[in-house]
């Protein structure tokens, strides 16, 4: 399966400008891909102005995602601010080229920035399937919670779409590696660069790791860019068969 990872410098609280910028970046993708991944809150940056910037599910950004997925003939994923039934969500959308979609509402809200005061948390994970790969997409702070990220033999690729700040870069790198190893899955972390509207700096470190925790592709830190990768399901299955750690895994039960 072929995926393109997008590492942008998000324009603060300006969805239309960001969508124009992403469209230009998409034009740089040279060959057909199966999936394009954008970071967390790709249209606004990590803002707490949820009430002012939220869109309905039939809003402009959703329509743009659908149009881009159809035009590029691939799946397109990223999170944005959605208002639904009086609640505001940091909602990851997995848009398919036929206009259908799945979604995941970020479960772990970053209380140190007050995210839990401006958004409602989700409770249901999402698994999507593309080209035989089972994919579990999560959002940013979810990375710190291994039980929520746990592979119950239900996914082959674990994805984190993030706005992860530069001061905690070492944590990002360490946890991406750990989640890949402990779950025996491909791991993809997609992050932004630049400074946001409140002066927080981001270095990106967008990358893909294999099930051994080895980096197999990355985008240069601190610079906007994109990277296309090709993942092999056969190699992953062969490694799991040769080294079946999953057979000795503990069971966990999560509360709602």
The residue annotated as part of the active site, out of 55, 74, 136, 140, is: 140
Assigned domain for 226 exists: yes
Assigned domain for 162 exists: yes
Q: For residue 194, give the CATH number of its domain.
A: 3.60.110.10
Q: How many CB atoms lie within 10 A of CB 154?
A: 10
Please give the model's pTM, rounded to 2 decimal places.
0.97
CA separation, residue 111 to residues 78, 86, 92, 175 (Å): 21, 21, 19, 19
Q: Which domain holds residue 232?
A: 2-248
Assigned domain for 254 exists: no
The predicted pLDDT at position 208 comes to 98
Mean pLDDT of 27-34: 96
The residue annotated as part of the active site, out of 40, 55, 74, 115, is: 40
Assigned domain for 161 exists: yes
Assigned domain for 89 exists: yes
The predicted pLDDT at position 251 comes to 80
Assigned domain for 152 exists: yes
Assigned domain for 77 exists: yes
Give catalytic status of residue 74 as yes or no: no
Binning pLDDT at 50, 70 and 90, where does residue 253 land?
A: confident
- Provide the domain count of the chain: 1
Binning pLDDT at 50, 70 and 90, where does residue 255 land?
A: low
Assigned domain for 94 exists: yes
Give catalytic status of residue 106 as yes or no: yes
How far apart are the C-alpha atoms of 238 and 221, rounded to whole Å? Answer: 32
pLDDT digits over 135-174, tens only? 999 999 999 999 999 999 999 999 999 999 999 999 999 9
Burial class (CB in 10 A: 0-12, 13-18, 19+), 150: buried
Task: Show the tokens assigned to 33.
Answer: 């891909």
The residue annotated as part of the active site, out of 74, 106, 136, 177, is: 106
């Amino acid at each position: 399966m072929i995926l393109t990872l997008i590492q942008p410098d998000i324009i603060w609280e300006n969805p239309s400008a960001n969508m124009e910028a992403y469209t230009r970046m998409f034009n740089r993708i040279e060959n057909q891909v199966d999936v394009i991944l954008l970071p967390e809150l790709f249209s606004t940056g990590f803002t707490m102005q949820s009430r002012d910037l939220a869109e309905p599910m039939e809003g402009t950004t959703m329509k743009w995602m659908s149009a881009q997925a159809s035009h590029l003939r691939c799946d397109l994923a990223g999170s944005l601010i959605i208002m639904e039934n009086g609640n505001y969500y940091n909602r990851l959308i997995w848009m398919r080229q036929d206009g259908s979609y799945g979604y995941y509402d970020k479960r772990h809200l970053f209380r140190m920035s007050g995210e839990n005061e401006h958004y409602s948390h989700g409770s249901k994970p999402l698994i999507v399937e593309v080209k035989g790969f089972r994919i579990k997409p999560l959002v940013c702070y979810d990375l710190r919670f291994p039980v929520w990220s746990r592979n119950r033999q239900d996914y082959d690729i674990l994805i984190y779409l993030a706005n992860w700040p530069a001061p905690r870069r070492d944590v990002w790198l360490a946890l991406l590696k750990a989640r890949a190893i402990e779950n025996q899955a491909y791991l993809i972390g997609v992050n932004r660069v630049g400074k946001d509207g409140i002066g927080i700096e981001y270095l990106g470190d967008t990358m893909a790791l294999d099930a051994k925790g080895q980096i197999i592709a990355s985008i240069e830190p601190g610079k906007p860019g994109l990277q296309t990768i090709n993942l092999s399901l056969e190699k992953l299955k062969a490694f799991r068969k040769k080294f079946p750690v999953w057979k000795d895994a503990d069971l966990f039960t999560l509360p709602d």
